């Protein structure tokens, strides 16, 4: 090939190369001379820099730089770096012909001859404005998200590695859990779990469930840095890469202790309300049953006593005695029912607890047997309590016998007392109480038994060995006194019964000396004309028969209306009336008689304590009653008249 052909071929190749470069529109590709003067310009350069080749060729490339970059000498620096280093690459703001800016990725390569002489520079520029804007937007979003997460203080928001180690930590996590970022980042998140959960492998299980399901949500106890516990609502989300591999976990924890405690208190209040309603319903039922049963027992008791008096030498006398004993035991049961339903009448007086228990010492020791020891512990100077002494003695004896039954192989019973202010769980109660505790070293109770222990007829004893009314009777008496009964027990470690007994005030009377008991005898002096009022025919007949046995004259009335008619027709010395009667109660009848016959004495006969304040001053006759009880009630009523 001759020289002319070679030259033509080179020119042709150069032309094709120029056409290729000029066809590129996404890159500005142009050449600078060694001094930075533009010597070539492609269509891509014209598209995003705005200059035509005629406008820019021959000009210095520094016009593409911002004023501040030119002042800092960046154009010359780029050329020097390319010349000395063989290549220069950077990103920065550049200026178009119209003055607008764009973000450019720039490469400057030196162009040298075969002998190394610098001919100029090849410059390739790409417009990355949109990419930079997207990256900046992403950076701002990430920064806003970071600031948002850091600003959240009610939630602990942090990341875990795939192995469960903490990789970041927000302010909420520090506030809730107590750790500063430098104290916890890099440590395993299992330290937030309780010792029990750690031993059970709960942290690893939760991560495994989050991995399997993609998300885990639960509530449970967690531990702060200072060792205190809090109820946490926890969400763990698994984080995957583009290939679906687990890269870590996002964890959000909220302290819901207050909500948990509020809900717990609400549930407890609901349970207590339900229990109170149930106990009230049972109390109403048992109170009504006890009242009707008392009427039956009154009839039976009077009939048996009269039969026994009329058959003193009969071969059936032993059977009559057995029937009388059974009737009295039935009467005792009705008293327990009335105590539970809070319908018994209490004789409140100022009582010294140490003296009362000392007086019961021999009875208690006989009841518990030789295998059980009893210890009493009383603080000095205990105040008197406002109670019904007889009912409290019965209650204490019941509790001691329960303790005995819980220790079949023997053990220890401790009775202690100390002052206490306010009723348990009620800070608003200002009255003072004496806290009496009866503790045993027996079998104790599980949670289920403990919840039912004071319910009527519930018993853990065998058939025929208990009525299930002992604790319920004590509970009813305490409620009626304005006190409280509480139970503390753990299975295998014994039971403690607490009685909160009200302290006597200045208006509470001391117990009067009991009159010496005497045998029942027929009425001395003239016979009394006594009106008996009762809506129960059997009770009415037997009461009148018993009065006649005592030597009195009995007049019958089946209702309060008939009683008012009888008062108009007869001269009476005394009225014995049942309290619980339809239309007009015995209390209402007594109030009416006080208006029309002011001097006429009235005895109220009832097992109820629900009488008016005015009628409460009247003599009472508790059902069931026997001949002696009736005679004493009449004697008391006549003595009050004489006084």
Give the separation between CA 461 and CA 447, rounded to whole angstroms: 17
Same domain, 119 and 210: no
**Domain check: are 482 and 626 in the same one?**
no
Q: Is the pLDDT of residue 560 over 50?
A: yes
Q: What is the reported pLDDT for 466?
A: 46
For residue 340, pLDDT beyond 60: no
Say if residue 334's pLDDT is above 70: no
Residue 157 sits in the same domain as residue 86: no
Question: Where is the domain boundary, 197, 221, 255?
Answer: 255
Both 45 and 99 in a single domain? yes
Omega before residue 624 within 30° of 0, cis:
yes
Whether residue 428 has pLDDT greater than 60: no
pLDDT at 574 over 60: yes
Tens-place pLDDT, residues 73-118? 999 999 999 999 889 999 999 999 999 999 999 999 999 988 888 9
Return the percentage of the chain with pLDDT > 90, whole number. Answer: 29
Would you state the pLDDT for residue 152?
Answer: 64
> Taken in order 631, 636, 637, 638, is the CA torsion positive or negative?
positive
CA 519, CA 635: separation in Å to the nearest integer?
13
- Do the beta carbons of residue 234 and residue 210 sit within 8 Å? no
| pLDDT score recorded for residue 425 | 47
> What is the domain range of residue 425?
349-502
Of 24-28, 350-354, 460-464, 622-626, which range is least confident? 460-464
Q: What is the mean pLDDT of residues 454-468?
A: 49
Per-residue confidence band for 16, with pLDDT thresholds at 50, 70 and 90:
low
Give the pLDDT of residue 335.
62
Indicate whether 353 pLDDT > 50.
yes
In terms of domains, do 489 and 547 share one? no
Question: Does pLDDT of 189 surpass 90?
Answer: yes
Residue-level pLDDT at 641: 55
Q: Is the model's pLDDT at 523 over the cut of 70?
A: no
User: What stretches of 513-634 adopt beta strand conformation (E)?
Assistant: 529-533, 553-557, 574-578, 601-605, 620-621
Q: Quick one: 623 and 482 in the same domain?
A: no
What does the pLDDT look like over 597-640, one tens digit per residue? 988 899 988 765 555 455 567 788 887 888 888 888 888 888 76
Model pLDDT, residue 207 = 93
In a domain, 511, yes or no: no
State the CATH number of the domain containing residue 472.
Answer: 3.30.565.10
| Mean pLDDT of all residues in 346-375 | 82
Tokens of 307: 């039969």
The average pLDDT across 26-45 equals: 90
Q: Quick check: 55 pLDDT over 80?
A: yes
* 301 domain residue, yes or no: no
Q: Is the pLDDT of residue 355 over 50?
A: yes
Q: Does residue 471 share a domain with residue 372? A: yes
Contacts of 378 (CB under 8 A, 6+ apart): 353, 354, 416, 417
Mean pLDDT in residue range 187-214: 94
Say which range, 150-159, 367-376, 553-562, 629-638, has the weakest mean pLDDT.
150-159
Inter-CA distances, 479 with 290, 484, 501, 604, Å: 18, 6, 10, 24
Output the pLDDT for position 265: 84
- Examine the domain organization and report whether 186 and 121 are in the same domain: no
Same domain, 125 and 29: yes
User: pLDDT-derived band of residue 223, with 50, 70 and 90 as boundaries?
Assistant: very high
Q: How many structural domains are present in the chain? A: 4
pLDDT at 160 over 70: yes
Residue 147, domain member (yes or no): no
Last-in-domain residue among 221, 239, 255: 255
Please state, as a whole number, how many other Cβ atoms lie within 10 Å of the Cβ of residue 362. Answer: 9
**Does the structure show a pLDDT above 80 at 418?**
yes
- pLDDT tens track for 230-251: 999 999 999 998 888 889 998 9
Q: Would you say residue 344 lies in a domain?
A: no
Q: Is there a single domain that holds both residue 368 and residue 493?
A: yes
Answer yes or no: are the C-beta atoms of 434 and 497 closer than 8 Å: no
Is there a contact between 216 and 206 (Cβ–Cβ < 8 Å)? yes
**CATH number of the domain that residue 636 is part of:** 3.40.50.2300
Q: How high is the pLDDT of residue 426?
A: 47
pLDDT of residue 3 exceeding 80 = no
| Residues sharing a CB contact under 8 Å with residue 578, sequence separation 6 or more, in sequence order | 533, 534, 535, 536, 539, 586, 605, 606
Per-residue pLDDT band for 64 (boundaries 50, 70, 90) equals very high
* Nearest to 323, CA basis, from 289, 299, 290: 299
pLDDT, mean over the chain: 80
Q: Is 90 exceeded by the pLDDT of residue 188?
A: yes
Question: Is residue 524 pLDDT above 50, yes or no?
Answer: no
Query: Do strands 349-351 and 372-378 pair parallel, antiparallel, or not at all (unpaired)?
Result: unpaired
Taking only the tens place, the pLDDT of each residue in 465-518 is 444 445 667 776 777 777 888 888 888 788 888 888 888 876 666 555 444 444
Share of the chain above pLDDT 70, in %: 77
For the ranges 124-133, 265-274, 335-344, which has the lowest average pLDDT?
335-344
281 occurs within a structural domain: no
Work out the pLDDT band at 192, boundaries 50, 70, 90. Answer: very high
Cβ contacts of 230 within 8 Å, gap of 6 or more:
176, 221, 222, 224, 255, 257
Residue 162 has pLDDT above 60, yes or no: yes
Assigned domain for 32 exists? yes
Average confidence (pLDDT) over 395-422: 82
- Residue 419 pairs in a beta bridge with 434
Closest CA to 514 of 300, 322, 359, 343: 359
Q: Lowest-pLDDT range, 245-249, 251-255, 423-427?
A: 423-427
Sheet holding 215-223, edge to edge: 155-161, 246-255, 229-240, 215-223
Question: What integer pLDDT is reported at residue 183 of this predicted model?
Answer: 93
Domain limit, last residue, from 96, 130, 164: 130
Q: Locate 3 and state its tokens.
A: 């020289």
Q: How far apart are CA 284 and CA 287, in angstroms?
A: 5
Distances (CA, A) of 469 to 129, 309, 351, 450, 477: 89, 34, 25, 15, 12
> How far is the C-alpha of 145 from the C-alpha of 20, rounded, in Å?
46
Q: Which residues of 12-30 are buried (b: 16+ CB within 10 A; e: fewer)?
A: eeeeeeeeebbeeeebbbb
pLDDT-derived band at 561 (thresholds 50, 70, 90) equals very high
CATH of the domain at 249: 3.30.450.20
Same domain assignment for residues 371 and 237: no
- Assign 57 to helix, strand or coil: coil
The band of 198, judged by pLDDT with boundaries at 50, 70 and 90, is: very high
Say yes or no: 80 and 161 in one domain. Answer: no
140: in domain = no
Q: Give a yes or no: residue 310 inside a domain.
A: no
Q: What is the pLDDT of residue 517?
A: 42
**pLDDT score, position 611:** 52
pLDDT recorded at residue 63: 92
């Amino acid at each position: 090939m001759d020289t002319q052909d070679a030259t033509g071929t080179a020119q042709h190749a150069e032309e094709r190369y120029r056409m290729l470069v000029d066809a590129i529109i996404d890159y500005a590709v142009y050449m600078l001379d060694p001094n930075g003067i533009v010597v070539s310009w492609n269509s891509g350069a014209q598209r995003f820099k705005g200059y035509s080749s005629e406008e820019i060729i021959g000009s210095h490339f520094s016009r593409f730089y911002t004023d501040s970059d030119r002042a800092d000498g960046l154009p010359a620096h780029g050329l020097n770096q390319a010349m000395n280093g063989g290549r220069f690459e950077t990103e920065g703001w550049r200026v178009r012909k119209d003055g607008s800016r764009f973000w450019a990725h720039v490469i400057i390569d030196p162009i040298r001859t075969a002998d190394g002489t610098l001919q100029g520079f090849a410059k390739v520029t790409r417009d990355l404005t949109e990419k930079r804007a997207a990256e900046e937007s992403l950076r701002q979003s990430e920064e806003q998200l970071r600031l948002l997460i850091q600003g959240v203080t009610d939630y602990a928001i942090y990341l875990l590695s795939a192995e469960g180690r903490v990789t970041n930590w927000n302010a909420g996590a520090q506030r809730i859990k107590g750790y500063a970022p430098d104290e916890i980042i890099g440590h395993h998140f299992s330290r937030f779990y309780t010792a029990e959960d750690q031993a059970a492998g709960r942290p690893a299980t939760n991560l495994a469930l989050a991995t399997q399901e993609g998300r885990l949500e639960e509530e449970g106890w967690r531990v702060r840095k200072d060792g205190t516990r809090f109820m946490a609502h926890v969400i763990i989300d698994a984080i995957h890469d583009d290939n679906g591999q687990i890269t870590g976990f996002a964890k959000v924890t909220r302290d819901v202790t207050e909500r948990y405690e509020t809900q717990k208190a609400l549930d407890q209040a609901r349970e207590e309300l339900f229990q109170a309603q149930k106990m009230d319903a049972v109390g109403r039922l048992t109170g009504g049953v006890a009242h009707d049963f008392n009427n039956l027992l009154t009839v039976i008791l009077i009939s048996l006593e009269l039969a026994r008096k009329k058959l003193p030498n009969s071969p059936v006398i032993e059977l009559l005695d057995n029937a009388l004993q059974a009737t009295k035991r039935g009467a005792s049961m009705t008293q327990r029912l009335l105590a539970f339903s809070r319908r018994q009448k209490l004789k409140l007086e100022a009582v010294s607890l140490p003296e009362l228990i000392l007086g019961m010492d021999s009875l208690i020791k006989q009841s518990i047997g030789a295998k059980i020891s009893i210890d009493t512990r009383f603080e000095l100077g205990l105040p008197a309590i406002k109670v019904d002494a007889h009912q409290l003695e019965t209650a204490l004896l019941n509790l001691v016998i329960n303790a005995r039954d819980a220790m079949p192989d023997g053990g220890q019973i401790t009775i202690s007392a100390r002052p206490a202010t306010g009723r348990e769980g009620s800070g608003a109660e200002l009255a003072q109480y004496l806290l009496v505790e009866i503790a045993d070293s027996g079998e104790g109770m599980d949670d289920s038994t403990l919840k039912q222990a004071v319910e009527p007829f519930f018993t853990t004893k065998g058939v025929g060995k208990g009525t299930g009314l002992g604790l319920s009777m004590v509970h009813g008496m305490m409620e009626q006194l304005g006190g409280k009964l509480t139970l503390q027990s753990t299975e295998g470690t014994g039971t403690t019964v607490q009685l909160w007994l009200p302290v006597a005030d200045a208006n509470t009377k001391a117990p009067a000396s009991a009159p010496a008991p005497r045998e029942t005898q027929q009425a001395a002096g003239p016979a009394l004309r006594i009106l008996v009022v009762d809506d129960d025919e059997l009770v009415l007949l037997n009461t009148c028969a018993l009065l006649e046995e005592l030597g009195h004259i009995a007049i019958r009335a089946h209702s309060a209306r008939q009683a008012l008619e009888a008062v108009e027709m007869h001269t009476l010395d005394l009225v014995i009336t049942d309290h619980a009667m339809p239309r007009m109660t015995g209390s209402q009848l007594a109030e009416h008689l006080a208006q029309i016959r002011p001097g006429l004495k009235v005895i109220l006969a009832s097992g109820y304590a629900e009488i008016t304040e005015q009628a409460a001053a009247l003599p009472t006759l508790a059902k069931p009653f026997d001949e002696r009880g009736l005679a004493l009630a009449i004697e008391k009523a006549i003595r009050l008249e004489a006084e």
